[in-house]
Amino acid sequence: MPSLIDIRRRIRSVKNTQQITKAMKMVSAAKLRRAQDRVIAARPYVSALRQVLANVASAAADGDEGANPLLVRRDERRILLVLVTADKGLAGAFNSNLIRGAQRFIVEHRDAAVTLELIGRKGRDFFRKRGARISGDSLNFARPSAGDARPFAHKAMNLYRDGETDAVYLLYNEFKSVVAQKVVLRRVLPVEIPEGAEPVSYIFEEPPEEILHALLPRYVEMEFFRALLETAAAEHAARMTAMDAATSNAADMIDRLVLYMNRVRQASITKEIIEVVSGAAAG
C-alpha cells in the first residue's frame, strides 16, 4: 500500500498536469476563433471562383481550352499526394487519421508510383522513418497565408506540366465544428471543370481561352490555401476538445486519489488506535 506522502505527491502531479491541459485548451480556443473566421471567409471565395471557372470554361468550349496542360488527363501511373498534418501533437486522433488516410491511399494505388509532399512535422516524421518516397517537406504553418500556399501549388503545377506526375491529390482535415473534423481527399490536378452550372453571359475583353489559362493557376493556388486554412482550424478544434477531455479526466483522477488517500489515512489512524488499546490492555 502506498504511503500518504506518495499519494499526496501523485495528487500534486495530476493537479499540475490539469493546469497545463486547461491552459492549452484556453490557448487553442482563442486561436480557433481566428482560424475559424478565416476559413468561413475563404469558403465563399472558393465557391465563387469555382463558379467563374465553370462559366469561363463554358464560354471557351468552342476554343482551344483543351490545350491547357492543367486540364489534360493522363493515366495515373505517377501520383503526387500532398499530405497536410500538424506540427504538434496532443490533438487526439487528428494526425493519426490523416496518416492512416495517406497509408490507405498508397495501398489503394499500389500499382502507381505514389510520391508524398509533406506539410507538417507529424506527417514528415512518420513517413521519413518508414522510408516513403518523399518529394519535399515543410513546417511551421500554424497561421497560413496565401503566400505560404503558393510555392506548393506552383511546384505541383510544374510537375504536372512537365509530365513528371499524372495526378495531384490533397489530403487534409476539413473543419466542420469544434467536435468534428472530416478527412478530405481531393484531386486538384488535372483540374476538373465543374459541370451543371448555368452559363452566365459575360462580356470578355480578352478571349475566354486566355482568361481560362490565367484563371486555372489561381484556382489551384486557392485549393492549396484552403487546405492549409481548413487544417489549421481543425487542428485547434481537435486540440481544444482533447485538452478539455484531459482536464475532465484529471479532475476525476484527483477525486479518486483524494478518496483513496482518505481511506489510507483512516486505516492508518484505526491501526494506531488498535495498537494503543492493545498496549493498554496488555499493561
Same fold, 4-22+242-276 and 34-238: no
Q: Is 44 helix (H, G, I), strand (E, B) or coil?
A: helix
Cα 273 to Cα 269: distance, rounded to the nearest angstrom: 6
pTM here is: 0.81
| pLDDT tens digits along 25-74 | 899 888 888 888 888 888 888 888 887 787 777 666 654 545 678 888 88
> Which pLDDT belongs to residue 65?
47
The domains of the chain are located at 4-22+242-276, 34-238
CATH architecture under which domain 34-238 falls: 3-Layer(aba) Sandwich (3.40)
Burial class (CB in 10 A: 0-12, 13-18, 19+), 82: buried
Question: Which fold would CATH assign to domain 4-22+242-276?
Answer: Helix Hairpins (1.10.287)
Question: Which residues, other chains included, contact 117 with Cβ-Cβ below 8 Å and sequence gap of 6+?
Answer: 80, 81, 82, 83, 134, 135, 136, 137, 152, 155, 156
> Which pLDDT belongs to residue 243?
92
Place of cell 489559362: 213
Give pLDDT tens digits along the chain (283 positions). 667 888 888 889 989 999 999 999 899 888 888 888 888 888 888 888 887 787 777 666 654 545 678 888 888 899 999 999 998 888 888 899 999 999 999 999 988 899 999 998 998 999 988 888 888 888 877 788 888 888 899 999 999 988 889 999 999 998 888 888 889 998 998 888 766 555 566 666 777 777 788 888 898 898 899 999 999 999 999 999 899 999 989 999 998 888 888 888 887 778 777 777 776 666 5
